[in-house]
Amino acid sequence: IVKSDIYYDLDDEDYSREGLGRNFTGKVVLTTGSSSGIGEGIVKLFSRLGANVVVTGRKANEVQRVAEEAQELSPLKLKPLAIVADVTKSADLNRLISKTIDTYGKLDILVNNAGAGFYGPFRAPDFLTKFDQSVALNLRAYLELTHLAVPYLDKTNGTIISISSTSSTLPTPGGLAYEVAKTGVDMMTRTLALELGPRIRVNTINPGLILTNFINHTDPDVITKIDKEVIARTPLKRPGVPLDIARAVVFLASKEASFITAANLVPLRQQFDKSDNPRSQQVTGRKS
Ligand code: NDP
């Protein structure tokens, strides 16, 4: 087994545990943005759990690297299907689906994950350009790929999991272009769960701070000032790593989640840290 670079030892992930619904042998999983970060963690964990995985992104060398590492983790050394594609291009999305079906004959699990942050003040002259780019990548690509995948997911009683963000629930100045797109992903999940059920389950995970290229570092030892401020407001007091999210994706795709649909897994982040929350200084109640 090759040591994973996603900070946890995948040797602990026992794909053979009977009854846990975590054996994905024979399942076909397509995860966008799987050449890095959260998507990389997702394809590696599914590969470890026996699935056939599709690895995709724009950078050919990274797609190849992840495909090779995922193959090493596979109990049967199954070779992933590696596809270089830009999810903002319709032709590439069509190719993703057709190659997956040509290779495996079916699709069981679709993970919409490829995304990126687009930040800047509303008053900036390029705001609308950023907005359009953000929606194209973080929302429209999810919808378009889902639209192409549904006929195949219908046949397998498949499931869809989309990666949104805490940003859909936490407004920040300068975050509008990204927040609106991710809010759309949350609503897409709820409406599609109604429309595609009972055949297809549809869920969303809204990660908080995860150490990936998205925040420009993957090193747990590099904790920036902004990281610290965010971490201080979270219950577990540590940043997430890709495998944390991958485990939640696997759970939602597993038999364990057979009655879970239309859900958004949104982590809690308190608005104030204890030290700067004026209420924490307040003494209430009767004196004895
Ligand atoms: P990374 O930057 O590590 O990974 C992003 C992935 O998306 C890469 O594989 C990248 O590959 C791919 N990608 C980006 N643009 C395109 C495109 N146009 N076409 C095809 N693939 C593309 O970031 P994360 O793993 O952190 O991000 C994954 C998801 O998680 C995103 O949707 C992000 O919004 C969300 N998220 C992340 C958080 C975090 O703190 N990290 C917090 C909340 C949400 P390539 O560059 O090769 O195309």
At 170-215, the pLDDT tens digits run 999 999 999 999 999 999 999 999 999 999 999 999 999 999 999 8
> What confidence score (pLDDT) does residue 117 get?
96
Which amino acid residue places its CA nearest to atom 33 of ligand 1? 115
The number of the ligand 1 atom at minimal distance from the alpha carbon of 112 is 32
pLDDT of 283 higher than 80:
no
Strands of the sheet with 264-265, listed across from one edge? 81-84, 52-57, 28-31, 109-112, 159-163, 201-205, 264-265
Closest CA to 161 of 171, 149, 170, 151: 149
Q: Which residue has the higher pLDDT, 284 or 201?
A: 201
Cα torsion angle, 230, 236, 241, 244, sign = negative
> What confidence score (pLDDT) does residue 6 get?
46
Which amino acid residue places its CA nearest to atom 46 of ligand 1? 58
In angstroms, how far is the first alpha carbon of the chain from the final one?
63
Percent share of the chain, pLDDT over 90: 77
Residues in the ligand 1 pocket, defined by CB under 6 Å: 33-39, 57-59, 62, 86-88, 113-116, 137, 163, 165, 207, 209-210, 212-215
> What confidence score (pLDDT) does residue 238 get?
92
* Catalytic pick among 15, 142, 152, 178: 178
Q: Give residue 258's identity as a one-letter amino acid code.
A: S
> What confidence score (pLDDT) does residue 183 get?
98
Q: pTM value?
A: 0.92
Tens digit of each residue's pLDDT (9 = 90 or more) over 12-65 = 565 555 445 678 999 999 999 999 999 999 999 999 999 999 999 999 999 999
> What confidence score (pLDDT) does residue 22 get?
78
> What confidence score (pLDDT) does residue 269 get?
79
Question: Which whole-number Å values give the CA distances from 63 to 70, 77, 165, 193, in the listed order?
Answer: 11, 17, 24, 31
pLDDT of 268 higher than 90:
no
Place of tokens 């609503």: 187
* Rounded average pLDDT over 71-83: 96
**Before 198, cis peptide (omega within 30)?**
yes
Tell me, yes or no, if 15 is annotated catalytic: no
Pocket test for ligand 1, best of 31, 32, 36, 118 (most atoms within 8 A of CB): 36
The residues facing 210 across adjacent strands are: 240
The number of the ligand 1 atom at minimal distance from the alpha carbon of 38 is 25
Q: What does residue 74 show for φ and ψ, rounded to 5 degrees?
A: -70, 130
Average model confidence (pLDDT) for the chain?
Answer: 90
* Rounded average pLDDT over 92-115: 98
> What confidence score (pLDDT) does residue 3 get?
43
> What confidence score (pLDDT) does residue 31 get?
99
DSSP 72: H
Q: Per the structure block, which two tokens stand in for 65?
A: 């690297």
